[in-house]
């Protein structure tokens, strides 16, 4: 699997910053079903896709919602639930059903994802929070459309 290193971030659990600096990469997953093509921006932290950390969730969010000039992950979301930006969309296409949302705070130096919430099962891990160095974070967002494509063709005989 090809992954493109884009930035570094800190993984914070239960309000305490760990000494571990995690690596963020971006993959662009493309699903083709007949004539329909769907592209997802998939955040990966330290080699683990975020959707695997939160279990049984869609892999990402539509590239069109994340790529510039969007403010979706830059503190000015257009797709939100209960005042939180959608980070991972719902598997049914509705974030309010089973997607993952978080508050995003942008300062001069950092971007923080915190106060995560999701409906459905399984519940999110407690204390999930990330803090990114802003310059590198913005470079990540700007590079979303340049990340390699991972293509899956969905056929009618697949569940």
CA gap 105, 118 in Å, rounded: 19
pTM to 2 decimals?
0.80
pLDDT digits (tens, 9 = 90+) for 72-89: 999 999 999 989 999 999
Q: Classify residue 114: in a domain, yes or no.
A: yes
CA gap 73, 6 in Å, rounded: 15
Q: Classify residue 159: in a domain, yes or no.
A: no
Number of domains in the chain: 1
Residue 72's pLDDT is what? 95
Q: Classify residue 94: in a domain, yes or no.
A: yes
Q: Identify the helix (H) or strand (E) that includes residue 73.
A: none
Structural domain for 114, as ranges: 4-153
């Amino acid at each position: 699997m090809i992954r493109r290193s884009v930035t570094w971030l800190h993984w914070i659990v239960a309000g305490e910053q760990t000494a571990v600096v995690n690596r963020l990469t971006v993959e662009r997953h493309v699903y083709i079903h007949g004539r329909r093509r769907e592209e997802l921006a998939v955040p990966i932290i330290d080699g683990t896709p975020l959707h695997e950390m939160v279990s049984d969730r869609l892999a990402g969010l539509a590239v069109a919602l994340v790529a510039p000039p969007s403010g979706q992950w830059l503190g000015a979301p257009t797709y939100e639930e209960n005042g939180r930006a959608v980070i991972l969309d719902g598997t049914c296409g509705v974030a309010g059903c089973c997607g993952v949302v978080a508050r995003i705070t942008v300062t001069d130096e950092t971007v923080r994802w915190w106060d995560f919430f999701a409906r459905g099962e399984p519940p999110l891990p407690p204390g999930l929070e990330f803090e990114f160095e802003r310059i590198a974070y913005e470079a990540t967002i700007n590079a979303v459309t340049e990340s390699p494509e991972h293509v899956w063709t969905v056929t009618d005989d697949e569940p």
